Amino acid sequence: MKVNGRPYRTVWMDDESTGEFKIIDQRWLPFRFEVETIRTTEEAAAAIKDMHVRGAGCIGAVAAHAMYIAAFESEKSAGKIFEEELRQKADFLASTRPTAVNLQWAISRQLDEILSQDSISDGAKKARSVAQQIADEDAEWCNRIGQHGKPIIEDLAKKNPGRPINILTHCNAGWLAFVDHGSATAPIYAAHDAGIPVHVWVDETRPRNQGARLTAWELNQHGVPHTVIVDNTGGHLMQNGMVDLVITGTDRTTYTGDVANKIGTYLKALAAKDNEVPFYVALPSSTFDWQIRDGVKEIPIEKRDGDEVSMMSGLSDRSGDRETEVAIVSPGSEVANYAFDVTPSRLVTGLITERGVCDANETSILNLFPEHKK
Ligand code: MRU
């Protein structure tokens, strides 16, 4: 995607440099665009945990690059120590965020590839090419999600000529949450680029405001008409016929179709069901959990620092780019910060994947991904 006209991915390696990679540091958007260089496993872990990067696909791709750094760092040790050290680093990286399954997926894929090499230096070389491969795959899968999701918007446009199709989205499942294109936004970008009129309702997404800060910024960069709303607005809009379609992303979806996504997604799905608004979830196959059957009972839900709820940051001077933090909760009150919730499959109209659209149930998902049939 382009930032001020220049193409970017969220994570990349420069051809000439070894033992480092670059990320877009999302903490400062939309007010400042900054690129960060990651040189150690510790820096990579901090970037994931403290949300310099976030979003399932992006976290997975960054973890893949972090494993390359880990292998590069461990290259100096010999034999068994290399494997031990690498496994420790893999565990350390995997512990940074519990809900997005892409993290573990990318780390175990890298571990298998590195440890199957004959020599340590081959392992480090392999890790570099696998990191690149995971990033390229993520971008291509999201591109295909766009192509498979576009007809859903196209059909709605045919049924409602002469007005834009109103799509509600929650959190940021845009290109910043992946390597490129995004999941929930990919069909929107594809429809917009094809000349189909769209308008996006952007949930601000408390407490980190990924919608107000990131999705809105992305849509601005791409010229897609949109309106930011507070999180509790969706139900009212749906009751008044102002939402044609909901598309969200997901951080982990079970092979039975239960969807973990940013906190508040479940309430949107309930309102959509009550108002007969189609509720789609867009995801690459790297976000399926092929082990877990019951998402509500089994998906680990991250609880983050209460300061994310009780403090808020933003510009005190609209013309500047330095943010100020302010307290917004009565001092002394307890706060709880559940980062994700689970939407049961019965509330999901369909899943938009890189292989096509399927129903949110075991049979339909496994028909699209037969290699995961047990
Ligand atoms: O806590 P974050 O910002 O990493 O949240 C994850 C997400 O980006 C959303 O839940 C998103 O909708 C999932 S799509 C990658």
Query: What does the pLDDT look like over 127-156, one tens digit per residue?
Result: 999 999 999 999 999 999 999 999 999 999
Q: Are residues 124 and 252 in the same domain?
A: no
Q: Specify which residues 21 forms β-bridges with.
A: 38
**Ligand 1: which of 172, 248, 338 to mutate, judged by most atoms within 8 Å of the beta carbon?**
172
Query: What's residue 76's pLDDT?
Result: 65
199 domain residue, yes or no: yes
Looking at the CA of residue 55, tell me the nearest atom of ligand 1.
8
Looking at the CA of residue 171, tell me the nearest atom of ligand 1.
12
Contact 264, 170 (CB under 8 A): yes
**Residues 248, 269: Cα–Cα separation, whole Å:** 10
What is the residue range of 127's domain? 2-137
Identify which of 24-38, 68-82, 313-327 has the greatest average pLDDT: 24-38
Which residue type occupies 307? D
Q: Are residues 120 and 230 in the same domain?
A: no
Catalytic residue among 244, 251, 258, 341: 251
Query: What's residue 78's pLDDT?
Result: 58
Q: Which of 238, 223, 245 is nearest to 159 (CA)?
A: 245
Q: Are residues 123 and 163 in the same domain?
A: no
For residue range 164-200, list pLDDT tens digits in order.
Answer: 999 999 999 999 999 999 999 999 999 999 999 999 9
Q: Which of 107, 95, 106 is nearest to 45 (CA)?
A: 95
**373: CA distance to ligand 1 center in Å?**
27
Contact 173, 249 (CB under 8 A): yes
**Residues 310, 78: Cα–Cα separation, whole Å:** 48
311 domain residue, yes or no: yes
Contact 62, 103 (CB under 8 A): no
214 domain residue, yes or no: yes
- Which pTM value belongs to this model? 0.96
The mean per-residue pLDDT over the stretch 97-113 comes to 97
Q: Are residues 35 and 126 in the same domain?
A: yes
Contact 338, 263 (CB under 8 A): yes
How many domains does the structure of the chain reveal? 2
**Residues 131, 11: Cα–Cα separation, whole Å:** 10
144 domain residue, yes or no: no
For ligand 1, residues with CB inside 6 Å are 54-57, 171-173, 177, 183, 210, 248-251, 261-262, 339
**Residues 100, 98: Cα–Cα separation, whole Å:** 6
**Residues 226, 204: Cα–Cα separation, whole Å:** 12
364 domain residue, yes or no: yes
Query: What's residue 1's pLDDT?
Result: 86
CATH at residue 75: 1.20.120.420
189 domain residue, yes or no: yes
Contact 219, 202 (CB under 8 A): yes
What are the start-end ranges of the H helices in 194-305?
210, 216-222, 234-239, 265-274, 295-298
CATH at residue 216: 3.40.50.10470
Q: Does residue 308 surpass a pLDDT of 80?
A: yes
Q: Are residues 204 and 126 in the same domain?
A: no
Domain boundary (112, 137, 162) is at 137
Q: Are residues 130 and 170 in the same domain?
A: no
Looking at the CA of residue 302, tell me the nearest atom of ligand 1.
1
Q: Is 251 a catalytic residue?
A: yes
Least confidently predicted of 168-172, 253-257, 321-325, 359-363: 321-325
Q: How confident is the model at residue 120 (pLDDT cuts 50, 70, 90)?
A: confident
The mean per-residue pLDDT over the stretch 82-90 comes to 91
Q: Are residues 118 and 156 in the same domain?
A: no
74 domain residue, yes or no: yes
* Residue of the CA atom closest to atom 8 of ligand 1: 55
The mean per-residue pLDDT over the stretch 27-51 comes to 97
Q: Are residues 292 and 259 in the same domain?
A: yes
Q: Are residues 129 and 185 in the same domain?
A: no
**Ligand 1: which of 208, 210, 353 to mutate, judged by most atoms within 8 Å of the beta carbon?**
210
The mean per-residue pLDDT over the stretch 312-330 comes to 93
Query: Residue 118 — left, alpha, or beta (φ > 0 → left; ψ -120 to 50 → alpha)?
Result: alpha
Q: Are residues 61 and 178 in the same domain?
A: no
Q: Does residue 70 surpass a pLDDT of 80?
A: yes
**Residues 236, 3: Cα–Cα separation, whole Å:** 34
The mean per-residue pLDDT over the stretch 318-340 comes to 95
Q: Which of 299, 99, 314 is nearest to 208 (CA)?
A: 314
Q: Are residues 117 and 223 in the same domain?
A: no
Domain boundary (105, 137, 169) is at 137
* Residue of the CA atom closest to atom 9 of ligand 1: 262
Q: Does residue 121 surpass a pLDDT of 80?
A: yes
Contact 326, 313 (CB under 8 A): yes
The mean per-residue pLDDT over the stretch 116-130 comes to 91
296 domain residue, yes or no: yes
Contact 173, 55 (CB under 8 A): yes
**162: CA distance to ligand 1 center in Å?**
33
Q: Are residues 224 and 103 in the same domain?
A: no
Domain boundary (137, 171, 204) is at 137
Q: Which of 263, 282, 277, 267 is nearest to 340 (CA)?
A: 263
